[in-house]
Amino acid sequence: MSRDRGLLLRTVTWAVLGFAAWAPVALAAPESKAPSAAVVPVGEPPAVGADVLRWSLELQDALQVNGQRLLGEPAKLRLLGLESASYGDLDAAYAKARAIASAGEYADAERELRAIVEGLERLFGHADAFPRWSRAMLQLARVEQILSRPEETRRVVDRLLHADPLVSPDPDLFPPSFLSVFDQVREEVRRQPRAKLVVSTGTAGGAIFLEGREVGAGTATLSLPPGPYRIRVVVDEVRLPERTVTLQRGEERLHVDASFAAALKRQPMVALVAAEAGRFRLAAELGAALGVERLYLVTESRSGAERYLVVEVLGGASGCTLDVARLRLASSGPPPGGIAALAAVLAKGESSPLLELGLLQRVQPPASPWREGSACKRPASPGNPPPSAPPPAKAPTRPSKLVRCESQFDCAEVGGTCFEGVCRR
């Protein structure tokens, strides 16, 4: 093999394997710089409101200013199975593998095709992955036959037929010798005893994929030859973690809880949309899926006539509520500097004039964990630990001279904070 051909093969291999290796490499930064937190807006169905999304983005920026290492949106999408499929590199690698095989370098083509198959398997759950995978598996089986590896040829064909018993090689593209082997393996698979597999998701919109092929929605009942099968459920573009089930004779049931996936929405930020009753169980699952130390949940709530921006800090590993703070909202939104103060209080335990004014309040987290069996011990906040009970809100008072304001600058002479169009202290 020439030096240029070897360089080409290494380039193709890394183009394919680069897709698979990207995720761990992206997370393999030095420990001191690894993302340790994530901001997630939360709301009632059908979607998180535009205001909460905007304030969540502002809080994200403010937390970064206060030293929090936050997980970016691309990393969230990847970890939660929300990323879009990209086939460009894999399609190019497949075309080059075919060219290498046409040049008679079958051992090199076999390595390239196996790398392509592995890359496509990581995309199972996307509709266009399985046809590409089947195409690559057929080419791989043919190359194994040319390399005089009959057992490996039959193994690849057997695996393909377990995934899709109706697949057939094109007689215009494959020689009679290969078609004969393929038919023999098909007959062997057809004669195998059958086992029953019932997969349920608890939601009508849950698409069920078996070995990358979509086989049903909500619930699927399948009659399959014994052996291991990979199952993936996709709900609203969220690919749940892959499950493996090994079938014996008889019946096997697999339930995949799709409520977590149904609650995730790909808005401008990854958002959690769920009724309040089950929200924090889902949030605990979200923190575990993202692998962060802290999860900042951003919601809007009402207490009487007052509106609040509420941020609850959830321990990513424990699922416990570590801290809660709320910011009183004016008709136009948070008070000037409010979100920056909120971030400083939660990230560093710093004090703020807004605390004295009662516009920013610390709230005692609940004592019981959201995740059963975990021990929730809230670490003391540096500088400003919250009291054992929520302090009574200190009503903002107007200065002796009523001063109207449009910004904090208008209150410089009299002191206080510009809130709801009036300087208050």
Which is nearest to 330 in space by CA: 394, 400, 403, 406?
406
Domain final residue, candidates 206, 238, 257: 257
Contact 204, 259 (CB under 8 A): no
Q: Which tokens hold the place of 59?
A: 């809080």
28 belongs to a structural domain: no
What is the β-pairing status of strands 207-210 and 227-235? antiparallel
24 belongs to a structural domain: no
Both 305 and 335 in one domain: the answer is yes
Both 235 and 371 in one domain: the answer is no
418 belongs to a structural domain: yes
Range of the domain at 353: 36-70+262-394
Domain final residue, candidates 173, 191, 209: 191
Both 12 and 130 in one domain: the answer is yes
234 belongs to a structural domain: yes
Contact 116, 298 (CB under 8 A): no
- CATH number of the domain that residue 237 is part of: 2.60.40.10
Contact 56, 295 (CB under 8 A): no
Both 270 and 419 in one domain: the answer is no
Both 149 and 10 in one domain: the answer is yes
Both 169 and 232 in one domain: the answer is no
77 belongs to a structural domain: no
What is the β-pairing status of strands 37-43 and 270-273? parallel
Q: Which helix (H) or strand (E) holds 355?
A: helix 353-357
11 belongs to a structural domain: yes
Band of pLDDT at residue 74, cut at 50, 70 and 90: confident
Write the pLDDT tens digit of every residue in 168-218.
Answer: 999 999 999 999 999 999 999 999 999 999 999 988 888 999 999 999 999
Domains contained in the chain, number:
4
- CATH number of the domain that residue 114 is part of: 1.25.40
SS3 call for 334: coil
Least confident of 1-5, 253-257, 305-309: 1-5
Both 205 and 170 in one domain: the answer is no
Band of pLDDT at residue 345, cut at 50, 70 and 90: very high
Most distant CA pair in the chain, distance: 98
- CATH number of the domain that residue 382 is part of: 3.40.50
Both 274 and 218 in one domain: the answer is no
Both 409 and 266 in one domain: the answer is no
Both 150 and 185 in one domain: the answer is yes
Domain final residue, candidates 171, 191, 211: 191
Number of Cβ atoms within 10 Å of the Cβ of 295: 25
99 belongs to a structural domain: yes
In this prediction, residue 134 carries a pLDDT of 97
Band of pLDDT at residue 99, cut at 50, 70 and 90: very high
22 belongs to a structural domain: no
Write the pLDDT tens digit of every residue in 22-66.
Answer: 333 333 333 445 568 999 999 999 889 999 999 999 999 999 999
In this prediction, residue 372 carries a pLDDT of 42
* % residues pLDDT > 90 (the chain): 55
Both 308 and 372 in one domain: the answer is yes
C-alpha span between 51 and 54 (Å, rounded): 5
Both 116 and 253 in one domain: the answer is no
